Structures are given as structure tokens and as C-alpha cells.
């Protein structure tokens, strides 16, 4: 994973931004294939939110995740899961996620994907969802997903305390406006222009008059990410660690 800026990787930048969204004394969860969100949550636990309760679905390490996957869904259904992270093979400007099929013919798709698993319920019942992808391209961020595995918004008659609040990718950060049912650009990462984000996004989004650069990790952030956080996620995501998800101190 190449360095951006002076001395940090894109994974470290995304994890640092994610860490700012973790609230203390709350339940926070991550799912499978989530090394960057996991890094961000663990960074927050070491800094801003020492008393939050972390739930890493799929982890067998009680020291990392004291709550089981089953308990996670129970917590979410009671409305007590504050933050969770979701990705998708496709995502569109309304926050819809596709984890089911690629292609117009659903009976004979070009690609059959793993499916929703628990994401449908979690997208509805978790208080806040941060969407994330390490690949920000028109192939992923499309005008309309081929299949709506779980929708970004719902009719007001549907009980839905949660939903998308933010999108964090390898190019930028966007905020999701539930009232407008769309995204607005918050910041671009170092070396990325607004035009590059537009070019690589298949849906339209709001662009404010002034777009800042995503804040870089501090030296303290990097020290924690490259030591205790790296050690904790190595067992769950060895490929991410070995491929340079973290820089060197």
C-alpha cells in the first residue's frame, strides 16, 4: 500500500478519519473484510473512546471482541449499536448497497455475490452506518445499483432509526444527507482533486464551494496504528498487514 502525503498510507489516513466518529461508552461493531474500520475503531479505543465496547463480528479473540456475533445482532435490534461499517460491490448516490448480483438479468447474473448476511438488519437498526471502500471507481460507485440488497433510505412509515451517515474511500470523505437522500463531499485526500473524485464517481453529489484536504494522522496516531493496533489486527487480517496497510515507524 503506497504512502501518500509525507509519511502515512491511505489505510492509515482512512482509519484516522474513521476514529473521529467513534463515541465513548457506546457499542461499535465491524464485520468481515474490514481491516481499515477495525484499525480506526481500535485507534479510537486507544485515544478518544477508551470506554466504548468493540464488537468484531467473526473474531474469536475475546480480548479483541468481548461480545459475540449473535449478541451483536441482539444489541442492534434493541437500538443500542451506535456505529457499524458496511461496504458493497456496488453503491449508488442514494446509499443503496448491492451485495447480491451484478448484471441486469437477476436470474442469470454476470456475477453472483455473497448476499446480504446480516447487513440488511444492521443497515436499518444501527444508529449510524459508515460506508467504506478501498476502491473508488465508477465500477463500484454507480448511478443505480444493479440490485438493491439493502436500501439507503426508507419510507417514513418504516421503522428505521439508523442508516448511512458517511462514506470513506481511498479518494475522499462524503457526508450523507438523509433529508436530501444524497451525498455531499466533505474532503479530498492529499493529492486528490475534486475533479478526480467526480471522474471516478458514477453518481452525482453535492460539492461545497470550498473542499478541504482530509486531516492527516498525527505522529501519535501513527505510533498507535503501527504498534498496538497492528499487533491486534495481524491475526484477523495478515494480508493487509503484510501488504503495507501500515507504514513503518
35-46 vs 10-19: helix axis angle to the nearest 10? 50
pLDDT at 36: 96
Burial class of residue 64, CB neighbours in 10 A (0-12, 13-18, 19+) = middle
* Residue of 96, 87, 77, 95 whose CA lies nearest to 27: 77
Alpha-carbon distance 246 to 156, whole Å?
42
pLDDT at 184: 98
pLDDT at 186: 98
* Residue of 120, 104, 102, 122 whose CA lies nearest to 112: 102
Contact 147, 98 (CB under 8 A): yes
Alpha-carbon distance 237 to 108, whole Å?
33
DSSP 236: T
* Residue of 217, 228, 231 whose CA lies nearest to 11: 217
Please, how many CA atoms are within 13 Å of residue 6, restricted to the half-sphere of its CB? 7
Alpha-carbon distance 230 to 221, whole Å?
12
Is 136 inside a domain boundary?
yes
pLDDT at 247: 83
Q: What is the CATH number of the domain that holds 144?
A: 3.40.1080.10
pLDDT at 6: 66
Is 248 inside a domain boundary?
no
Is 145 inside a domain boundary?
yes
pLDDT in tens, the chain (249 residues): 555 556 899 999 999 999 999 999 999 999 878 999 999 999 999 999 999 999 888 666 766 777 777 788 899 999 999 999 999 999 999 999 999 999 988 888 888 888 888 888 999 999 999 999 999 999 999 999 999 999 999 988 998 988 999 999 999 999 999 889 999 999 999 999 999 999 999 999 999 999 999 999 999 999 999 999 999 988 888 888 888 889 876
Is 202 inside a domain boundary?
yes
Is 175 inside a domain boundary?
yes
DSSP 7: T
Is 237 inside a domain boundary?
yes
Is 199 inside a domain boundary?
yes
Total number of domains in the chain? 1
pLDDT at 193: 97
Is 75 inside a domain boundary?
yes
Domain enclosing residue 176, as ranges: 3-242
| φ, ψ at 244 (rounded to 5°) | 90, 30
Alpha-carbon distance 191 to 170, whole Å?
11
Tell how many helices (H) and how many strands (E) occur in the chain.
8, 14
Amino acid at each position: 500500500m503506497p504512502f501518500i502525503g509525507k509519511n502515512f498510507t491511505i489505510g492509515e489516513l482512512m482509519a484516522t478519519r474513521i476514529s473521529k466518529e467513534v463515541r465513548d461508552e457506546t457499542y461499535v461493531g465491524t464485520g468481515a473484510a474490514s481491516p481499515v474500520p477495525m484499525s480506526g475503531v481500535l485507534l479510537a479505543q486507544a485515544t478518544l473512546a477508551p470506554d466504548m465496547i468493540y464488537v468484531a463480528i467473526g473474531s474469536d479473540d475475546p480480548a479483541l471482541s468481548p461480545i459475540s456475533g449473535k449478541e451483536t445482532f441482539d444489541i442492534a435490534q434493541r437500538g443500542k449499536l451506535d456505529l457499524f461499517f458496511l461496504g458493497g460491490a456496488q453503491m449508488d448516490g442514494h446509499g443503496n448497497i448491492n451485495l447480491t448480483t451484478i448484471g441486469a438479468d437477476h436470474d442469470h447474473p454476470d456475477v453472483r455475490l455473497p448476499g446480504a448476511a446480516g447487513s440488511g438488519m444492521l443497515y436499518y437498526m444501527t444508529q449510524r452506518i459508515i460506508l467504506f471502500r478501498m476502491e473508488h471507481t465508477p465500477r463500484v460507485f454507480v448511478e443505480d445499483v444493479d440490485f438493491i440488497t439493502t436500501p439507503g433510505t426508507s419510507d417514513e412509515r418504516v421503522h428505521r432509526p439508523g442508516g448511512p451517515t458517511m462514506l470513506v474511500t481511498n479518494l475522499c470523505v462524503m457526508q450523507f444527507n438523509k433529508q436530501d437522500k444524497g451525498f455531499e463531499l466533505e474532503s479530498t485526500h492529499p493529492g486528490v482533486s475534486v475533479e478526480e473524485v467526480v471522474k471516478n464517481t458514477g453518481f452525482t453529489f453535492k460539492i461545497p464551494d470550498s473542499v478541504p484536504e482530509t486531516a492527516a494522522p498525527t505522529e501519535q496516531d501513527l505510533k498507535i496504528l503501527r504498534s498496538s493496533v497492528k499487533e491486534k489486527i495481524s491475526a484477523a487480517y495478515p494480508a493487509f498487514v503484510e501488504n503495507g496497510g501500515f507504514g513503518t515507524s
